[in-house]
Amino acid sequence: ADPKLGIVYDAGGKFDKSFNQSAFEGASRFKKETNINFIEVQASSDTQAEQVLRGLARKNLDLIASIGFAQQAAVQKVAKEFPKVRFVLIDGVAQGPNIESITFKEEEGSYLAGVAAAMASKSKKIGFIGGVDIPLIRTFSCGYAQGAKAVNGKIDVTANMVGTSAQAWNDPAKGGELARSQFDRGVDVVFAVAGGSGLGTLQTAKEKGKLAIGVDSNQNGLYPGTILTSMVKHVDMAVYDAFMQMKNGTWKAGVYSKGLKEGGVDWALDENNRKLITPEIEKRVMGARKDIIDGKVKVIDIRSGAACPV
Amino acid sequence: MMNKDLPRWATAFVMPVLNLLSALLVTALVIHLLGESPTESLAILVNSAVVNPEGLSYTLFYASTFIFTGLAVSIAMQAGLFNIGAEGQMYFAGLGLTLAMLTFDASLPAWLLIPVGMLGAALFGALWAFVPGYLQAKRGSHVVVTTIMFNYIAAALMNTIIVKLVPPGEQNPASRAFAAAAEMPRLNQWFPILGETPLNISFFLAIIALVIYGVVVSRSAWGFKLRATGLNKHAAHYAGVRISKMIIIVMLISGALAGLGSVNSIMGSTHYLSLNFVGGAGFIGIAIALMGRQNPVGIFLSAVLFGALTQGGFDLSLEKQNIPPETVIMVQGLIILFCGAMENLYGPAIAKVLNLKKRG
Amino acid sequence: MTFDDLHIGSILVSTVRNAPVLIFAGMAGLFAERSGVIDIGLEGKILASAFVSAAVAFATQNPWYGVMAGMLVSVLLATLQAYIAITQKGNQLVGGIAINIAMSGLTFVVAQYFFQQGGRTPDLGSARLFDVVLPGSAAIEGVPFVGWLYAHLIGGHSVLVYLAFALVPLVHWVIYHSRFGLRLRACGENPHAADAAGISVERQRYMAMLIAGVLCSFSGAYMSIVQSGFFLRDMSAGAGYLALTAMVFGNWRPLYTFLGCLMFGFFGAVQIQIEGVELPLVGRLPGSMIQMVPYVLTVIVLAGLMAKSVAPKALGTPFVKSR
Amino acid sequence: MQPAVEFRGISKHFGAVKANTDVSFAIAKGSIHGLVGENGAGKSTLMSILYGYYRADGGEILLDGQARRIHNSQEAIALGIGMVHQHFMLVENMTVLDNVMLGSEGGFKLNKNRARVEQELRDICTRYRLDVDPLATIHDLSVGAQQRVEILKQIYRSASILILDEPTAVLTAQETESLFEILRLFKDQGKTIILITHKLQEILDITDTVTVMRAGRVIGAVPTAGTTKEDLANMMVGRPIENNLPRKPYNPGAPVLEVDNLQLLDDQGVKLLADIGFTLRAGEIVAVAGVSGNGQSELMEILSGMRLPTSGKLQFEGKPLPFAGRSNPDGLPRVFRELGIAHVPEDRLRDGVVKAFSVMHNTILGYQDKLKNRWGLLDFKAIAARCADLMKNFDVRPNNHDLRIGLLSGGNQQKVVIAREVLAQPKVMLVGQPTRGVDIGTIESIHTQLLKLRDEGVAILLVSVELEEVRALADRILVMCGGRITGELEIEEFDTTRIGLLMGGMHKS
Ligand SMILES: Nc1ncnc2c1ncn2[C@@H]1O[C@H](COP(=O)(O)OP(=O)(O)OP(=O)(O)O)[C@@H](O)[C@H]1O
Ligand SMILES: Nc1ncnc2c1ncn2[C@@H]1O[C@H](COP(=O)(O)OP(=O)(O)OP(=O)(O)O)[C@@H](O)[C@H]1O
Ligand SMILES: [Mg+2]
Ligand SMILES: [Mg+2]
């Protein structure tokens, strides 16, 4: 029989232009290919996460995908109560024989974005705009800076955060304003990691004729010609794979950290940004990519407690 | 004024019911437009929020927090102060509670941990309300403005601090989880029918707080002075009330009450401090205080209503894929609109009907 | 940190660009509150008009239709508020907050229903309102200071920006030097006196609310069809409350309210600039700490000024003929 | 000749209250018509109907013989009706000029007309000898001046029918006299005037005819010439009013309150009180007479602890009053009250009562801390009983302690305040304007209470602008002007002209 599948988004909701949306896309692709449906719910608070996971588990679902670190504690708890139900936790780590935890090495993908930005920048000033100052976002920002400095030690990286509350992910005006301010200071490439607010950044870059870098999904197509590349984080693949494995009976519990090597993160090169990526840039980025995969370059992950080296 | 002519049963029962029905009618229309059946949706909502014991338990869990924030806003309102800052006060109080727990959860027994946690929360909540209160009393800075500012400041400050509390290697911007001893006893220990739900003794604390509030405000000399201050500052001064002290004390109490709301959210449910854990409960407190007329029974009923909407609406969006969770927010707004702002909508009509009867 | 690091020019331009949202809403609140009606529902009106403006601008591919539709909706909401406050004599705070909450939900639901993009409207693309480039900007651009002043500080904004700034003296004039303003102030201060002088307090307040509705709609339209180029759920992000704050800060006077709006815009711009910069004494502050700069400064300014604000006396009380 | 105004069978009820029942009478053109009656007799209601505030339940109003339906004040104004309300209808933070222009601005642009109207106002002021600065802001003006602004408004609008609802309640004798001068001028111009007042002497002084109302009905309408104060009082209250209330012979006890060299400066350093010195003894009533706004209010506020003096020596029973070391008066009224200083504030609605509280709650205002038990709780059963007693003894009407006090008439509110303070068994009683706006029956009962208190040995300081009242109550009289005491006389020396001179600032020689 077809597996019974569920997906639980966190407070951002499935259209957050970030990992929730990416998860939704992965699940949708699975549905399209297999015609197997899935239940989807949004948990607006940590309390609700527990409630909804338990609710779905009671329905004897086979696999529940929990999107976002906010559900970590809930997954940990509910998985223990329902050993027969399997859980996929995205962006967080929980232990158990029925849990698959998937985290991403955002620092590696961001490193590539940093390399590309440093190469493309004429002013040698690049920018970063994050949603909220939390470890995840700092990981992006630090990886980005590492990549850029690897190209040019003197490059200047300006970082701004949109805000401090949940609203910070939905404030495109502020996202745009931060971009303007960075452009005024000479920045000519900006990396936006701020959900809906980041859309304001991309938009402003287009308006001002500067370059921007998208995040999470491939955003190159939003403003072809001004989006240098996107740092894609394959939450979609993770969800798709988990669903597929469930269907094929190959699903396994465990803790996985997916970087460039595992195909968890990458940079995006397609017809939309083909013209922007010169052969030199492409060569340099692909080189860095290979070095990381081969282990020749180690990108520091600040979440491990290390300070950002740059 | 017309209501004075209406019998009590009409104003206390018929009108609120009509108002609630109006709000539901508008909601039904929206749900219909969204392509779902309004009656089915209502059934799901009611079933999930009150009929089902587990749902009811969640309803009361949310209501417990709302009672505290509603009380916080209400008591300030009694003194004529519009405390918009319950959100920030509850948020900051979460820090006080968490610091207390992180320090003591390994060393103190459970029966001591809970009061210590409550104290930490109340202290920090009060502290966050103190500055606006002090500035209002001594400098005349408008408390509405300062409390709004303090909400923003709390958000920024808490973001800075919570990030520092994240255990290494963790993604989630949250503190470590507390020891089991620091968990509020859950009611399902005694009433297994409630299921695995976070409803805990905070609910009783909230009820006790309501009772104390009711008695203090309407029966005590201090409450008398409090209300006099809110209604007529000149007369209160004449009556010997120290107005600035009163303002500061009321804001401290208000902040402490908002702070106690975090005990339910954190010690009662998540057991760790996380970013944005308040999630608007402070703002809902404003709606509850206004709708409940700062009256203990009114506050209780409004808090339960909002708890029910939070719980029922959540299940509704779960079952009805076409109804996004945000629909509940709209319903909340509509209920406040009809039951709170336009409460007299049907007064004249009812009066007319009654008059006709009398004559006919 | 040097003076140059502060990028004064960038701060000023950013201030000018950010202020209109607050100015429109602040002036809207001013009309409402000067007439005696508390307008805590600015937020909801901004959000609703932001959504409708964007949706209609997208559907018709004409920003001006968007602006007009946003105005219509904002006025409808203002009328509802007026009906509650004036005709029903209900609680004005409750009414306003109800509208805010309802709109936060409704805009999402409707946006989702029509566009299926998670409460977002599609990109407006060319249906946005674009910035006005003053004639000769390109020529003068190179001239130091003057070029910047002309092309970037004065020029280079959307029409709505100019409208916002032009509004301030206009509102000042209307409030203090016109018959309408005199009656408005009288209604907010002592409606019984106005009534005795043969003025219909109810009509005056309704008119004030309608004007508030119109002005507030520009705030929303600016947000979605100028600043962002699309609508996003809850994108008003507290602007309505901030505008109200600026108005209280400005003691319900147009010019001071305007200064309050500029102050928020300015502090916000400063905050952007000092993020990640080594500051004297404190060094490099974390981004989240920097975020609180505008709000802390506001509190300090407020406490320091001893701003004993004097609200219109009848604010918030429904007018009932007997005393 | 056609009467200017004629009421025919006007009735009006508010809920169960019949404010007006079948009221009919006529007012001749070019006459001054008096309207008297107890508090709550329905006078203001009737006038409000004429001015379009309320719609009558039945009956009709004829103006110059023509039946008119007046729906709102706009229509009333258009018909040439002007009204000076019982409570000033002025916007406090606006100038006199703006207040006058309000409602008849003469165009959208104010500035165009401001200069013209200002000039016109100055002309009016000269012509009618009204002392008002058109550019002054209302809240800076004394009550007398505010009253003149109300008159100014009506002159500017050239109302042909002028209603004045208790215009003299807050005026001094001189101010009243100059108001009457103007009314006479109006009459000569052919205007019709309706005057409501509780002061029967004024009726005799100025009106041509007078209508008496009681409980919403017309009791009688007579030409003034054929009537006396006694007749009117009898008609109003239904019993004769005693003018000379019994009192024990003057026999003051020990000094209770000694004031020496009291000074008060305001924030700008302007002297509000200077060199105030006097002694108040047990069992005497000392009246402070003077035009209002000459420091009496400030004096009362200081003595009751509501305000701090700048300097001076204040002794209560030989010990200094506890002002020392205080930077603000927060909580001080409570300390004074505990010492035994009771206070009936001059502005009862602002300071004396909380309008939204019930009568019962208001009877403990200021004494809430004395009545609480050791848990800090108030025993409302006992308080209700206490209140019922009090309402009976002081004849507060209606006798319902759950009623919001704001719904009581001014006179009855005043009775509650006085009763509350009397019940505290004070040693000193500060009383400000105790009978402002109160009908003669109530005045009689309030005066009786105060005299009884004096006879029991309480020291009473009375501030009043009514010389009639001062004469009726005082043992000694202090006259204040410009923040100083300009004269002091025994009651035997009472002489209106001399007091008038002292009130005008003529120092004792
Ligand atoms: N707005 C109102 N609502 C309900 N009852 C009212 C209202 N206004 C007046 N009344 C009632 O009408 C009666 C007459 O009141 P009115 O104000 O006309 O008296 P008055 O003769 O002017 O008294 P006073 O001498 O105290 O001014 C009162 O007894 C009162 O109960
Ligand atoms: N809103 C109201 N509802 C019920 N009764 C009212 C209301 N307003 C006034 N009244 C009644 O009207 C009567 C007279 O009112 P009015 O305002 O004329 O009082 P007053 O004695 O003249 O007081 P003041 O000292 O303020 O002049 C009172 O008996 C009072 O109970
Ligand atoms: Mg009257
Ligand atoms: Mg009166």
Could you state, in order of their start, the residue ranges of all structural domains in chain C?
8-121+142-236
- Distances from the Cα of D307 to the Cαs of B49, B84, D268, in angstroms? 56, 32, 16
Q: Whose CA is nearest to atom 5 of ligand 1?
A: D14
- Identify the domain containing residue B260 by its residue range: 20-342
State how far the Cα of C13 lies from the Cα of C163, in Å rounded to an integer: 16
Contact A4, A60 (CB under 8 A): yes
The DSSP secondary structure of D88-101, one letter per residue, reads: ----TTSBHHHHHH
Residues with Cβ < 8 Å from B316, sequence gap 6 or more?
B41, B44, B45, B48, B323, B327, B328
Q: Which residue of A has its CA nearest to C270?
A: A181
Task: For tokens 């100059």, name the residue.
Answer: D178
**Both ends of chain C: CA-CA distance in Å?**
61
**Rounded to an integer, what is the distance from CA C125 to the centroid of its chain?**
24
D19 ligand 1 Cβ < 6 A: yes
State how far the Cα of A186 lies from the Cα of D76, in Å rounded to an integer: 70
Contact D238, D214 (CB under 8 A): yes
Say how many Å lie between the CA of residue D41 and the centre of ligand 2: 10
The mean pLDDT of B196-215, rounded to a whole number, is: 96
The pLDDT value recorded for residue D507 is 57
Percent of chain D with pLDDT over 70: 99
Verify cis geometry, omega within 30 degrees of 0, for the bond prior to D398. Answer: yes
Question: Residue D299: left if φ>0, alpha if ψ -120 to 50, beta else—which one?
Answer: alpha
Q: Which of B163, B173, B318 sits opposite A52 (nearest CB)?
A: B318
Query: Does residue D161 share a domain with residue D210?
Result: yes
The pLDDT value recorded for residue A149 is 95
Q: Which residue of A has its CA nearest to B316?
A: A41
On the question of pLDDT at A250 being above 70, the answer is yes
State how far the Cα of A23 lies from the Cα of A239, in Å rounded to an integer: 6
On the question of pLDDT at B287 being above 70, the answer is yes
Confidence band of B256 (pLDDT split at 50, 70, 90) = very high
**pLDDT tens track for D2-46:** 899 999 999 999 877 889 999 999 999 999 999 999 888 999 999
Query: Does residue D436 share a domain with residue D388?
Result: no
**pLDDT tens track for C35-51:** 999 999 999 999 999 99
State how far the Cα of A255 lies from the Cα of B98, in Å rounded to an integer: 29
Residues with Cβ < 8 Å from B54, sequence gap 6 or more?
B194, B195, B196, B197
Q: Write out residues in chain C with pLDDT < 70, as ranges.
A: 1-6, 151, 281-282, 305-309, 322-323
Please name which of A126, A72, A120, A121 lies closest in space to residue A99, comparing C-alpha atoms: A72
Q: Which of A44, A93, A133 sits opposite B159 (nearest CB)?
A: A133
Q: For residue D479, give the H/E element and its range.
A: strand D476-481
List of chain B residues whose C-beta atoms are within 8 Å of the C-beta of residue A132: 159, 275
State how far the Cα of B264 lies from the Cα of B199, in Å rounded to an integer: 8
> Can you name the residues that pair with D285 across neighbouring β-strands?
D460
On the question of pLDDT at B247 being above 60, the answer is yes
Query: Does residue D193 share a domain with residue D208?
Result: yes
At position D74, the amino acid (one-letter code) is Q
On the question of pLDDT at A304 being above 90, the answer is no
Query: Does residue D33 share a domain with residue D159?
Result: yes
Count CB neighbours of C196 within 10 A.
26
Task: List the structure tokens of B24.
Answer: 């539901």
C-alpha angle with apex D301: D473 to D264, nearest 5 degrees? 115
A91-100, A117-126, A151-160, B317-326: range with lowest mean pLDDT: B317-326
The pLDDT value recorded for residue C323 is 45
D44 ligand 1 Cβ < 6 A: yes
For chain B, what is the mean pLDDT?
Answer: 91
Say how many Å lie between the CA of residue D19 and the centre of ligand 3: 11
Say how many Å lie between the CA of residue D438 and the centre of ligand 3: 10
Count CB neighbours of B185 within 10 A.
14
Domain stops at, among D206, D237, D268: D237
Query: Does residue D128 share a domain with residue D15?
Result: yes
Please name which of B85, B225, B353, B337 lies closest in space to residue D372, comparing C-alpha atoms: B225
**pLDDT tens track for D458-489:** 999 999 988 889 999 999 999 999 999 999 99
Query: Does residue D491 share a domain with residue D395?
Result: no
Q: What residues 107-136 of chain C have any CB closer than 8 A to a CB of chain A?
A: 117-120, 123
Please name which of B110, B259, B285, B267 lies closest in space to residue B200, comparing C-alpha atoms: B267
Residues with CB under 6 A from ligand 2: C 322; D 14, 39-40, 44, 86, 407-411, 437
Query: Does residue D138 share a domain with residue D66?
Result: yes
**pLDDT tens track for D395-439:** 898 889 999 998 888 888 999 999 999 999 999 999 999 998 888
Q: What residues 13-32 of chain C have any CB closer than 8 A to a CB of chain B?
A: none
Residues with Cβ < 8 Å from D87, sequence gap 6 or more?
C192, C323
Say how many Å lie between the CA of residue D207 and the centre of ligand 3: 18
Number of domains in chain B: 1
State how far the Cα of C203 lies from the Cα of C205, in Å rounded to an integer: 5
The mean pLDDT of B306-312, rounded to a whole number, is: 93
Q: For residue C293, give the H/E element and its range.
A: helix C293-305
Please name which of D52, D56, D50 lies closest in space to residue D33, comparing C-alpha atoms: D50
The pLDDT value recorded for residue C309 is 66
Q: Which of C13, C227, C288 sits opposite A133 (nearest CB)?
A: C288
State how far the Cα of B196 lies from the Cα of C257, in Å rounded to an integer: 52
Tell if the CB–CB gap between C190 and D73 is shorter than 8 Å: no
On the question of pLDDT at D508 being above 60, the answer is no
Q: Report helix, strand or coil for D277.
A: strand
Spell B57-69 as b/e; 16+ CB within 10 A means b: bbbbbbbbbbbbb
Confidence band of B50 (pLDDT split at 50, 70, 90) = very high
For chain A, what is the mean pLDDT?
Answer: 93
Confidence band of A109 (pLDDT split at 50, 70, 90) = very high
Confidence band of D509 (pLDDT split at 50, 70, 90) = very low
Domain membership of residue B6 (yes or no) is no
The pLDDT value recorded for residue C3 is 46
Confidence band of D351 (pLDDT split at 50, 70, 90) = very high
A145-149, C128-132, D83-87, D165-169: range with lowest mean pLDDT: C128-132
The mean pLDDT of A301-305, rounded to a whole number, is: 86
The mean pLDDT of B91-118, rounded to a whole number, is: 95
Contact C228, A173 (CB under 8 A): yes
For chain D, what is the mean pLDDT?
Answer: 91
Domain stops at, among D372, D394, D425: D425
Chains B and A: 3 or more CB pairs within 8 Å of each other: yes
Give the predicted TM-score (pTM) of the model. Answer: 0.90
Percent of chain D with pLDDT over 90: 66
Burial-class residue C243 by CB neighbours within 10 Å (0-12, 13-18, 19+).
buried
**Helices (DSSP H) in D132-275: which residue ranges?**
143-156, 173-188, 200-206, 229-237
**Helices (DSSP H) in chain A: which residue ranges?**
19-34, 46-58, 72-81, 106-120, 135-151, 172-184, 195-208, 235-248, 279-294
Chains B and D: 3 or more CB pairs within 8 Å of each other: yes
The pLDDT value recorded for residue B10 is 77
Q: Which residue has the higher pLDDT, A124 or C277?
A: A124
The pLDDT value recorded for residue B169 is 80
CA distance C21 to chain B (A): 18
Number of domains in chain D: 3
Would you say how long chain B is, in residues?
A: 360
- Identify the domain containing residue D51 by its residue range: 3-237
Q: Domain of B27: which CATH number?
A: 1.10.3470
State how far the Cα of D376 lies from the Cα of A7, in Å rounded to an integer: 56
Contact D215, D43 (CB under 8 A): no
On the question of pLDDT at A15 being above 90, the answer is no
Q: For residue B216, give the H/E element and its range.
A: helix B202-219
Q: For residue D418, give the H/E element and its range.
A: helix D410-423
Tell if the CB–CB gap between A173 and C228 is shorter than 8 Å: yes
The pLDDT value recorded for residue C195 is 93
**pLDDT tens track for B327-356:** 889 998 999 899 888 888 888 888 888 877
In chain C the beta strands, taken as DSSP E runs, fall at none
Domain membership of residue B351 (yes or no) is no
On the question of pLDDT at A166 being above 90, the answer is no
D41 ligand 1 Cβ < 6 A: yes
The pLDDT value recorded for residue B2 is 41
Q: Which residue has the higher pLDDT, D56 or B168?
A: D56
Tell if the CB–CB gap between B155 and A70 is shorter than 8 Å: no
Query: Does residue D165 share a domain with residue D28?
Result: yes
State how far the Cα of A174 lies from the Cα of A192, in Å rounded to an integer: 12
CA distance D272 to chain B (A): 20
Q: Which of C244, C286, C296 sits opposite B160 (nearest CB)?
A: C286
- Distances from the Cα of B70 to the Cαs of B12, B260, B261, C90, in angstroms? 21, 11, 10, 20
On the question of pLDDT at B19 being above 80, the answer is yes
Tell if the CB–CB gap between D92 and C196 is shorter than 8 Å: no
Tell if the CB–CB gap between C182 and D105 is shorter than 8 Å: yes
Q: Which of B220, B228, B238 sits opposite D377 (nearest CB)?
A: B220
Residue B113 has phi, psi (to 5 degrees) of -60, -40
Any chain D CB within 8 A of the CB of B103? Answer: no
At position C276, the amino acid (one-letter code) is G
The mean pLDDT of D241-262, rounded to a whole number, is: 90
Verify cis geometry, omega within 30 degrees of 0, for the bond prior to D134. Answer: no
At position B67, the amino acid (one-letter code) is I
The pLDDT value recorded for residue C1 is 40
Q: Domain of D69: which CATH number?
A: 3.40.50.300
Percent of chain C with pLDDT over 90: 54
State how far the Cα of D371 lies from the Cα of D377, in Å rounded to an integer: 8
Half-sphere exposure of A248 (CA within 13 A, CB side): 11
**pLDDT tens track for C274-293:** 877 777 766 777 777 888 88
Query: Does residue D171 share a domain with residue D41?
Result: yes
On the question of pLDDT at A190 being above 90, the answer is yes
**Rounded to an integer, what is the distance from CA B346 to the centroid of its chain?**
28
User: Which atom of ligand 2 lies nearest, measured to the CA of D45?
Assistant: 18
Burial-class residue C4 by CB neighbours within 10 Å (0-12, 13-18, 19+).
exposed
Any chain C CB within 8 A of the CB of B349? Answer: no
